Amino acid sequence: MHKLFHLTHSPIECYFHPSVRDFVVREIPLYEASGAGEHLMIFVRKKELSTFEMVEILSNVLGIKSAQIGYAGLKDKHATTYQYLSIPRTFESRLSACSTILNERGIKVLECRAHTNKLRVGHLKGNSFFMRLKKLTPIEAQKAINALEILKVSGFANYFGSQRFGKDGQNYQEGEKILENLRITRDKKIARFLLSAYQSHLFNLWLLERMRLNKMIESCSPKELVSSAGGYGVLDSVLCDERVVRELKAQEQFFKLLRGDVAVHYPYGKAFVLDDVRAESTRFIQRQISPSGALCGKKLLGAQDVALEIERVFVDSRLREVGSRRYAWVWAQDVAYTYKPEVAQMELSFSLPKGSYATIFLETLKNAHH
């Protein structure tokens, strides 16, 4: 899918290939293990394994049902990743007896502690990342450093990364086929996974339209925009009203808030519908709130007013999964980098809130439009 980014520099040429040496992901837990309880919280390091593959190996080696293994998030396959899992505590001695076998399969258990509950998806604060960028000339490196300094302050558009959509990028189409009864999937886990890929695809399409709106507001005068209304597709309803366009133009931040947008307290908290856009724009700049897009489904808190005109195009009412909101805009923290001109490489580290993709941060940095 084509994406739009907010930075304006020419594309940065460099090479990044996810591998165990050049890509390291470390989960930031939501809470520490309690030290007591019927579950065991395990901190593991895995290499060249998806989370699903790791769960399957643990299930086979320990003789435990995969449904009894808890995890907080899905981690990249082509990387060295550190993440938390939970298993019933009754398997503690079996786990220590099998450490060599697990090691051989790419899973190293680093620590175990008793805990009161099973880990659930989403029980994490975020992730920290290390990336090694290669074939980066000194000129391109300087462009990257300038862009990173801007990104530290500005934040970036929170697209779903291509990993979300499978090897060929078509998972969302399979999800849509399930809704149209063109595909029957007996495995509920796979069906849910494909449907959530479709939810993610709709979110990305919505975010692309909002980024298109932001770009136009930044680069054109209200008069120019209003006089061309009728050719903007989804955005026509917003851009035909000069008063709305002037309100948007007055906002200082790149991602413009619309009346009726659903914002969420940042980095976690409750969702609410925006009313006073000017006041909320200040809170957005201060990183207290962020606008959100729909992961459509039942019980969704939907946008209202002007924001609804755009959102409704990307809401599929056939989705019966529970709907939720996803930040449209996020900020990287702890951004640090070292450039090594003798090998034309940059070592880059940063952390992101849960559900945000390091690959999207990198695509934003490179500003390569595909």
Q: Supply the DSSP string of 137-155, one letter for each residue.
A: -HHHHHHHHHHHHHHHHH-
Q: Give the tokens for residue 363.
A: 């695509």
How many other C-beta atoms lie within 10 A of the C-beta of residue 8?
11
What separation, in Å, do the N-terminal and C-terminal C-alpha atoms of the chain show? 7
Q: How far is CA 370 from the centre of its chain?
A: 18
Question: Is 76 tagged catalytic?
Answer: yes
Contact (CB, 8 A) for 56 and 105: no
Q: Residue 213 to residues 83, 137, 236, 254: CA-CA distances in angstroms? A: 38, 34, 10, 10
On whether the CB atoms of residues 142 and 337 are closer than 8 A, the answer is no
- Name the active-site residue from 76, 187, 236, 276: 76
Neighbouring C-alpha atoms within 13 Å toward the C-beta of 350: 25
Amino acid identity for residue 339 in this structure: Y
- Residue for token digits 């952390």? 351
Residues of the chain by 3-state class (helix, strand, coil), percent to 5: 40, 25, 40
Pairwise CA distance, residues 2 & 356, whole Å: 18
Distance of CA 99 to the CA centre of its chain: 32
Residues annotated as catalytic are 76
